[in-house]
Structure 1
């Protein structure tokens, strides 16, 4: 799995990130979602590297083998702004001052924050299976609260960690056949680690706290994504069912916008890697 990629730990001061990177050419940063690690891209990243891209695949702070700072009362240590800052610093460390970024699930919010906070560095944004947090909350109704109940349960103190760690395998029900054996083993080890579980839950707590406020401040100030933006969503997941046309939701955030559905369940990089590779290569001009 990613055997041709360099696998290293990079000390960024506040955190140390595990990162796998390989290939040569224009840079693309791939950001995983919950509860995955960078290994979720193991069927996509090598193909992008072979197509002539420098591909960077980190574990976000607190996820997988990356460290996380202690929780703060406002959960800002796990904010998308903090995670985006990590990844911008990581790309500088690896020699990539300008790059495209693709983020899936929770990584989608980090990718958006990178494009807003580091506008001069992000050449292209790919948002996969997500809409901005503030947009989801503004549309929250009984259907959304029922489908995304975990957003609100994870916001409670202590209980989510206790519930998950009582039986992580039952909680996450990771599908080894779908994920691949090595990816499955890596993610399973992560979700059995209490420090990782705490950081992942803090990610959600930050979403309902500082993250939505950062997005609302952007909207009030008229800040939008300057780079070309591609939105991909899984046709067998519930994003379009809950929110309607995802492109309509994203349109106020990005003027240069395109996108389409992928025939897949939620974890599209694992379930439909060929379609994801095709979409990313077309968007990135490779």
Structure 2
């Protein structure tokens, strides 16, 4: 995986992050989702690294990065806290301004990064959904049926017990998934979902989502804060976004000053399923914006 990339642990003020980085040129930060690690990008990152400096961390709480202390409001796994990590990480590598591409839970970190640190983010690519606050406002029967896990994961204790009783069964780990992800990326991901501390931190991510993250989104909306950089929204047509939201870009328009978007013929994990197409679209966006 990641031929030509370096792997290191970076100590930040609030977290210790495992980070893979390589390439040269304008910087791009790639943020993974649940329950993956940075290894989910192993097919996309080398394509971007031909013309860009690419940085792929394990988010705080995920993979081999450090886990925050628990707090009643779950703020240690809030997207604001994770975004602070990313702003500090990129400055560690000497990048005052950079593009960010986020998938799944990582997309929420990317969104928060663009709102909280607007001078730092040159481009935002949001892969998968709509902002957390917007999603929760649309949490109707259809949402609850398809995305019931948001509400189960927010419960205390029981999700940990359910997942850790048999992580392979819970996450549907099969030879087919291993083939899709690639052997090394699959091994990295599987080690993460078998680690109790990582599973707990990933669930804290969802607990933060239903509380403090939603509050932050709604506060920004009330204040009229928007993403000022060019924004690309991509969604997999073989997954849930289109059934959940009739017009994904209409939900995004109040949030982004310069917006484009499209569906991609893929399941949920676009970086693993259609890496060439995804990389080509992202590169076009970065070059033209």
TM-score, L = length of structure 2: 0.98
Where do 5+ consecutive residues of structure 2 fail to align? none
Query: Secondary structure of 1:226's match?
Result: strand
Q: Name the structure 2 match of 1:32.
A: 32
Give the Å deviation of 1:13.
Answer: 2.7
Give the Å deviation of 1:101.
Answer: 0.3
**Distance of 1:14 and 1:282 partners within structure 2:** 35
**Distance of 1:3 and 1:256 partners within structure 2:** 35
Give the Å deviation of 1:217.
Answer: 0.2
Aligned residues: 285
Query: Secondary structure of 1:30's match?
Result: strand
1:144 matched to 2:137? The reply is no
**Distance of 2:36 and 2:259 partners within structure 1:** 27
Q: Name the structure 1 match of 2:117.
A: 118
Query: Secondary structure of 1:7's match?
Result: strand
1:273 corresponds, among 259, 272, 275, to: 275
Query: Secondary structure of 1:255's match?
Result: strand
**Distance of 1:138 and 1:62 partners within structure 2:** 27
Query: Secondary structure of 2:87's match?
Result: helix
Query: Secondary structure of 2:253's match?
Result: helix
Q: How does 1:60-209 map to 2 (within 5 A)?
A: 60-174=59-173, 175-209=177-211
Q: Name the structure 2 match of 1:261.
A: 263
Give the Å deviation of 1:85.
Answer: 0.2
Query: Secondary structure of 2:112's match?
Result: helix
Q: Name the structure 2 match of 1:11.
A: 11
**Distance of 2:13 and 2:227 partners within structure 1:** 28
1:49-72 CA-to-partner distances (Å, cap 9, x unmatched) read: 01x100000000010010011111
**Distance of 1:134 and 1:195 partners within structure 2:** 27
**Distance of 2:3 and 2:52 partners within structure 1:** 16
Query: Secondary structure of 1:285's match?
Result: helix
**Distance of 2:49 and 2:58 partners within structure 1:** 18
**Distance of 1:263 and 1:247 partners within structure 2:** 17
Give the Å deviation of 1:3.
Answer: 2.8
Q: Is the 8 A contact 2:3 2:46 kept in 1?
A: no
1:2-57 CA-to-partner distances (Å, cap 9, x unmatched) read: 1311100001132100000001110000000000000000000001001x100000
Give the Å deviation of 1:130.
Answer: 1.3
Give the Å deviation of 1:238.
Answer: 1.2
Would you identify which runs of 4 or more consecutive aligned residues in structure 1 move more than 2 Å? Answer: none
1:228-259 CA-to-partner distances (Å, cap 9, x unmatched) read: 00000001011011111211111110020001
**Distance of 2:26 and 2:3 partners within structure 1:** 21
- Kindly report the root-mean-square deviation, in angstroms, between the aligned alpha carbons of the 2 structures: 0.8
TM-score, L = length of structure 1: 0.99
1:228 matched to 2:227? The reply is no
**Distance of 2:13 and 2:136 partners within structure 1:** 33
